[in-house]
Amino acid sequence: MTILHNIILSIVEGITEFLPISSTGHLILASKVLDIVQSDFVKSFEIIIQLGAILSVIVLYFKKLFNVETIKRLIVAFLPTAVIGLAMYKIVKKFLLGNLTVVVWSLLIGGVLLIVLELWYKRQKHDISEIDSEIVLPNYKQSFLIGLVQSVAIIPGVSRSGATIAGGLLMRMSRKSIVEFSFLLAVPTMVAASGLDILKNYQVFTASNIWSLVVGFVSSFIVAILGIKLLLGFIRKYDFIPFGVYRIIIALIFILFFLV
């Protein structure tokens, strides 16, 4: 994997991390297009560079993130993902991560579900353009359910942000509150995922690999800040249906050109 590959994957990560289209899935798709072999290091690289994107949340939402009420709800939401993720780590790393077929079908099915949920949400809540001036935190029950839904995102292609957004739509939260809570929940989730991967696979890292991670971290951080601002601007005018349509289109393209 060259430096150019590192930068391309990091840009893909930064753009897609907070959109409901699966950053991990897109990293796997990009690796397929770039003909990058899914080695143990590449799999770890695709997980760890997400820390760069997570740092962008800490920078932009520092005050909200370290609020006591926010922390308590994030702990409740993180618990189901932590338990399920830890239990399924070996299976995901060995059989699912890097599996193009799993990614493509997850993107396709997730896209259909996102469109269906959005259409249902519109019928339930007429003022779909409602934007809160401040994030409205979910209650503890909602936080736990959002975390439970998020745990499905251990399957590559499902999308962590897509899962949390789906959970928020089901509970009829406003779009801004859903998206911003998804941003905040990404911090403990991805820090834990990256930390676990480093502990399990530290032996695959060499001096040259470390530099690859540094380049990936910095690049994904810069691009993720732009990605966050892009998504917040988008939901002020539009709903999540375009993301569902995009997921379906990209899945069909890869089915036609890579799986058939």
At 84 the pLDDT is 92
At 57 the pLDDT is 94
Give the residue among 226, 257, 241, 249 at the shortest CA–CA distance from 60.
Answer: 226
**Based on the structure, what is the number of domains in the chain?**
1
At 40 the pLDDT is 82
At 126 the pLDDT is 47
At 131 the pLDDT is 46
Chain segment 43-91, per-residue pLDDT in tens: 888 888 888 899 999 999 999 999 999 999 999 999 999 999 888 888 8
Q: Which residues of the chain have pLDDT under 70?
A: 125-135
End-to-end Cα separation, the chain, in angstroms: 27
At 127 the pLDDT is 45
Q: By residue range, what is the domain housing residue 170?
A: 3-259
CA distance 203 to 197: 11
At 218 the pLDDT is 92
Chain segment 129-145, per-residue pLDDT in tens: 444 446 678 999 999 99
